[in-house]
Amino acid sequence: MTPAKYDVLAIGNALFDVLVRTEDDFLVRHGMAKGGMALIDQAQAAAIYADMGMATEISGGSAANTIVGLASFGARTAYVGKIKDDQIGKLYAHDIRAAGVAFDTRPAADGPATGCSYILVTPDGERTMNTYLGAAQDLAPADIDEAQIAAASIVYLEGYLWDPPQAKEAFLKASKIAHGAGRKVALTLSDAFCVDRYRAEFLELMRSKTVDLIFANESELHALYQTSDFDTALKALGLDVALGVVTRSEKGCAVVEGDSVTLVPAASIEQLVDTTGAGDLFAAGFLFGLVRNAGYENAGRLGALAAAEVIQHIGARPQVSLKDLAQQHGLPV
């Protein structure tokens, strides 16, 4: 196997995040399911944006947040996601490259605008997302560069990619290339509603060994196996995939490999401000630990540390160097 150029390459929906603090009645007024992600059209996007007021705006998307987190730890990173050659698309590309991530996906010259995710953060810190996929849904197999995929130790895929049909094909192409090059493929389940939409297909991806590593939170795991019993679901996950990582908020995480389970506690925080990006940044820390061969416990601690940093402020990007933070806590970098 040739040495990897990248530690992790992520593929996801390239979305410009628009975040605002709001009250629960905003969600009720717009018919939103609290804590979930709903796909919306351009007219709905315009109506929500008009009602949001002052907002924080930054390039985002679940896998993009993860890859920026990895770059902050000092990993060699790349990202594949579709934007349009418009003003927001240019901002997106500049922002992610400025974070130290290689981003070479050709922007669309025509078609829908660069996608946006409108994120409402309620006083309890819960985030509710409304996503206009825009150009992101046009990610296609042609956007997958074989040499770039083969040069990454781990290819990280976003469950939300399973919504647009072409992106699904791109996902499968990338997995095949990665495995052909002797690399590993990771998948985040993204959202319990996403799991409900594609349960059978996600299970098939795992059982067919199209993916080697699954990231899920507790609600996604329960949705995947349609059981309210955590131990039963975790045991099933251990049978279905080579490695499974399940986050449990303040209860930490569980790493399952076959019938072996490693439990890692959550990192302490002073104040919960915004849960946006918690799972994304956990994945960043865990993947960083994996590529540094730090062991599952240290990988879990790195993930917990990154998640704790991001939930203490608005937005899904770290506001300090995660590498420095890990060193301060005596974790391997």
The pLDDT tens digits of the residues spanning 226-259 come to 999 999 999 999 999 999 999 999 999 999 999 9
Token couple for 224: 């995947």
User: How far apart (Å, rounded) are the C-alpha atoms in residues 142 and 180?
Assistant: 18
Is 92:116 a contact under the CB 8 Å cutoff? no
90-96 — which CB contacts under 8 Å span 24+ positions? 91/16, 91/59, 92/14, 92/16, 92/59, 95/58, 95/59, 96/59, 96/64, 96/67, 96/68
Using pLDDT thresholds of 50, 70 and 90, give the confidence band for residue 53.
confident
CATH number, span 6-13+61-112+138-329? 3.40.1190.20
Per-residue model confidence (pLDDT) at position 314: 87
* Order of strands, sheet of 253-257, starting from the edge strand that comes earlier in the sequence: 102-103, 77-80, 6-11, 152-158, 184-188, 213-217, 243-247, 253-257, 260-264
* pLDDT value of residue 164: 86
Place of tokens 């987190």: 69
Checking phi first, is residue 34 left (phi over 0); if not, alpha (psi -120 to 50) or beta? beta
Which runs of consecutive H residues, i.e. helices, occur in 35-123? 42-52, 62-73, 87-98
Cα radius of gyration (the chain): 18
* 4 DSSP assignment: P
Q: Distance between CA atoms of 153 and 189, rounded to whole angstroms?
A: 20
Mean pLDDT of 33-59: 92
Examine the pLDDT at 1 and tell me if it is beyond 80: no
Backbone torsion region of residue 182, taken as left when φ is above 0, otherwise alpha when ψ lies between -120 and 50, otherwise beta: left
Question: What 3-state class would DSSP assign to 212?
Answer: coil
Side-chain half-sphere CA neighbours of 147 within 13 A: 1
Residue type, 109: A
Q: Structure tokens of 179? A: 């495995």
If we measure between CA atoms, which residue out of 201, 218, 219 comes closest to residue 210? 201
CA distance 134 to 13: 10
pLDDT band at 179 (very low <50, low <70, confident <90, very high): very high
Type and span of the H or E element at 6: strand 6-11
Cα 232 from Cα 225, distance rounded (Å): 9
Domains of the chain: which residue ranges? Answer: 6-13+61-112+138-329
The predicted-structure confidence for 254-297, as pLDDT tens digits, reads as follows 999 999 999 999 999 999 998 889 999 999 999 999 999 999 99
Per cent of the chain over pLDDT 70 is 100
Structure tokens at 250: 């303040």
Render pLDDT for 110-145 as a digit per residue (tens, 0 to 9): 999 999 999 999 999 999 999 999 999 999 999 999
Band (163; pLDDT cuts 50, 70, 90) = confident
